[in-house]
Amino acid sequence: MNTTCTNKSTVLEARLEQAQLLKKVTYQFSFISLTRMLTPQQVVDAIKDLVQDCNFDCNDSGIALQAMDNSHVALVSMMLKSESFSPFRCDRNIALGINLTSLQKVLRCAQNEDILTVKAEDAPDVVNMVFESADNDRISEYDIKLMDIDQEHLGIPDTEYAATISMPSSEFQRICRDLTALSESVAIECTKEGVKFACNGDIGSGAVTLRSHTDVEKPERNIEINLSEPVALTFSLKYLVNFCKASGLSDSVKLCLSNEVPLLVEYALSNNSYLRFYLAPKIGDEE
């Protein structure tokens, strides 16, 4: 399928059977930066924040992306393993600095079922994207200009979490959405009995408790709680709601908590690929 290869050597070539995946993923990133859009004065600020650039690190194991929001409260880490692409070829490690707004614009031109091929040359100044329609012979091709982004790669240490909760992603999304109406933060308390999402707002308080649950017929409805010690932490719902926009990518979501450590919200994708969000907790003022 690599017919459009020019005389310059192509270093990266990754073909994705469904454009939808990348489309949804990138949507996420622009949202991370959107989280600051709140009061009218800040809208202007947020539009500027929106122009966020990010390095797509490509190597032979896949394409990785890492970005921290401007306020350093949330971090998103994406890994698309080479197995997710067919074929995947990356001869040399390259970092593609892409403006996410531009990427989003181009990806909007793709149909969800299109086959997406990402290509980059050696020392590229553009990244080439080809969308092939599965059912007709339409081929669209786009080039996105790359940017030189000075971005550090942050090593995220492997962490033993005190509590790990797996649940349907739609369930988590619903909880977050419901509680946002009441308050701006949610306390997640995980005990032997189950996990409780509680909030306390101006108009009153609310809590949703989930218990371990196994559904034999629909394993995706399972709720699994693994706990080594009870944990209680509070997080900003604003960020969580934004994370939940990834719910379409995966049926289930994994929340990992430990005291004094950021919350990990993981959406597992096929072939070991993943989309992870880290969120720093809120703590009470000791005044």
Partner 1 sequence: MTSSDDSVPPSTPSHDNGIFSDEPAQISSPPSSPPGFPWEQQKNNTTTPTRPAISAFSVLGKRKALADIDDNMRPTKKVAQTAESKPLSQMQISLGQKVQQKCKLCGMEYVRSSAEDRKLHDKHHKQSTEGYDVGKDFVQKAPVGTIFDGVAKEDRIFTVYCYDTAPRKRRAQAVLQIAQRDLGAVPISEEDVWGYKNEDGHVGRTSEPRYRAYMYIRKTKCIGLMLIERIKEARRVVERDAARREAKKGACPGNGSALSTLQARRQAAEKAELEAAKHPIELSRTSDGAKIGIARIWTSPTHRGQGIAVALLDTAVKHHDERVDKKVVVQVVDRQGEVVAKQNDTAVCLTDATCEPLEKLRGKEDVAFSQPTAAGARLARKWFGKLYGWHVYID
Question: Rule CB under 8 A: which residues touch partner 1?
Answer: 35-39, 42, 45, 48, 68, 70-75, 150, 152, 154-160, 180, 183-185, 200-202, 234, 236, 238, 258-262, 278-287
To partner 1, the closest distance from the beta carbon of 100 in angstroms equals: 16
Is the CB of 7 or the CB of 155 nearer to partner 1? 155
Short-list 57, 243, 49, 239, CA closest to 152: 57
C-alpha of 154 from chain center: 16
Across 100-184, the runs of DSSP E, i.e. the strands, are 115-121, 126-132, 139-145, 163-168
The answer to whether 275 and 258 have CB atoms below 8 angstroms apart is: no
Is the CB of 74 or the CB of 167 nearer to partner 1? 74
Is the CB of 210 or the CB of 280 nearer to partner 1? 280
To partner 1, the closest distance from the beta carbon of 177 in angstroms equals: 13
Strand order across the 224-227 sheet? 94-99, 53-59, 62-68, 74-81, 274-279, 263-268, 252-257, 163-168, 224-227
To partner 1, the closest distance from the beta carbon of 158 in angstroms equals: 8
Rounded Cα distance between 280 and 262, Å, is 4
What dihedral angle (degrees, nearest 10) is formed by the CA atoms of 120, 122, 126, 132? Answer: -20
To partner 1, the closest distance from the beta carbon of 74 in angstroms equals: 7
Is the CB of 5 or the CB of 43 nearer to partner 1? 43
To partner 1, the closest distance from the beta carbon of 40 in angstroms equals: 11
Is the CB of 1 or the CB of 51 nearer to partner 1? 51
Is the CB of 2 or the CB of 228 nearer to partner 1? 228
To partner 1, the closest distance from the beta carbon of 142 in angstroms equals: 27
To partner 1, the closest distance from the beta carbon of 285 in angstroms equals: 5
Beta carbons within 10 angstroms of residue 193's beta carbon: 12
Is the CB of 66 or the CB of 250 nearer to partner 1? 66
Block residue for tokens 């669209």? 140
Torsion sign over Cα 178, 181, 184, 189: negative
Strand order across the 115-121 sheet? 88-90, 10-16, 115-121, 126-132, 139-145
The answer to whether 255 and 165 have CB atoms below 8 angstroms apart is: yes
